[in-house]
Amino acid sequence: MMLNLRQVVRRASLVAAILLPVAAGAAPESGVLARPAVKVERLQVRAFLALAVAGNRMVAVGERGLIALSDDNGANWRQANSPVSSTLTSVTFADVRLGWAAGHAGTILHTVDGGMNWTVQTDGVTVARQVQASVPAGDARMARLAAQLVADGPDKPFLDIQFSDANHGVAVGAYGLAVSTDDGGRSWTSFMHRIPNPKGLHLYAARMVNESVWLAGEQGFLARSADAGNTFVQLDTPYRGSYFALAATASGVAVAGLKGNAYQVSQDGAVFTRIEGGPAISISGVTTLGDGRLAFTNQAGQVLLASIDGTRLTALPAAPQAPLSALAQAADGRLVLAGAAGLATVDATHKRGERP
């Protein structure tokens, strides 16, 4: 089975964490946390994994700590200052100034100037200690897991991050890694012990919708908190394969993943409605457009638009290209795409925009 870009990057990092020996006193990812991202040529054709909107600005993050900014709806991009060279898998903005990015080595970055400059808020070493400090008394399983995280060093990647406002955010990742903040990321606290995830399944996506927190991951894992993350309930989903993408909708969330499986989920998590019409190709990204429709990307490089009622998908008439990992809608209505071949734009009713 062919893998999409996020799967390739994630699985590569996880295999490396398992197979590469760690020298005593040296963390395998310590170097990438100490080295800023290098300045690159042809920025737009580098591999990017995630996109976010900050006012009229588009922000993309990807391989080797690269962060790219566009102020003209994705037509042109310039490189931002990134303090790490670890791969960044996700990015989110609370407003036009305040943003966060997360990725490999347990990295979480923060910007206060709309993405031009970033600082490290936390890393895998600190996160592992926070997980250990949060283990409930008598929870032997969590104690063993936390001890292993500390011993492994900063080798566990975050795979998604989201903030609902300037203070409240969550980040999730490999082996059930999950932390939250209520002070804008100045401090992070593990909530792994609150999630019904005894197998330590990888968590690929998180969304905060009003007082609800949704988590999606491996083996059909989908969990919901109705009390702002204090308690979680695992939902019985109609598909047992991995979910990689989550998006808020007017009636709840949309979740999608392997083999093109996509569903609308009611606000209480009780009703799943399959979104039909897409190819049996793994979906890697989803966003809600300004008109309320859902738009998806998949590993074949396709963009899939949902009908107004959200029940059926139609592929845009553009030739499939390299695997896509994310999409977002620019201020002019066009879709900005991120993936293995870089950054591009597409008109939702016409052909894909050309890369310069």
Instruction: Report how far apart, in Å, the C-alpha atoms of 54 and of each of 60, 182, 229 are.
Output: 11, 21, 25
With a cut of 50, say whether residue 15 has pLDDT above it. no
Beta pairing, strands 324-329 & 272-274? unpaired
Return mean pLDDT, the chain.
89
Residue 320: predicted pLDDT = 59
Lowest mean pLDDT segment, chosen from 1-10, 89-98, 347-356 = 1-10
Task: State if pTM tops 0.85.
Answer: yes
User: Which pLDDT band holds residue 291 (cuts at 50, 70, 90)?
Assistant: very high
Any idea where the domains of the chain sit in the sequence? Answer: 5-16+46-346
With a cut of 80, say whether residue 9 has pLDDT above it. no
Average pLDDT for 99-116: 98
With a cut of 60, say whether residue 11 has pLDDT above it. no
State which fold the 5-16+46-346 domain adopts: Methylamine Dehydrogenase; Chain H (2.130.10)
Residue 29: predicted pLDDT = 54
Least Cα distance to 80 among 124, 128, 36 occurs for: 36
Average pLDDT for 140-169: 93
- How do residues 196-206 score in pLDDT, each as one tens digit? 999 999 999 99
- How do residues 25-83 score in pLDDT, each as one tens digit? 334 455 788 799 999 999 999 999 999 999 999 999 999 999 999 999 999 999 999 99
Q: Rounded to 5 degrees, what angle do the CA atoms 220, 226, 232 make?
A: 50
Sheet with strand 262-266: strands edge to edge:
243-249, 252-257, 262-266, 272-274
- Using the structure block, give the residue that is written with the tokens 């943003």: 99
Q: 268: exposed, middle or buried (C-beta count within 10 Å: 0-12, 13-18, 19+)?
A: exposed
Which helix (H) or strand (E) covers residue 207, if one does? Answer: strand 203-209
Which helix (H) or strand (E) covers residue 304, if one does? Answer: strand 303-306
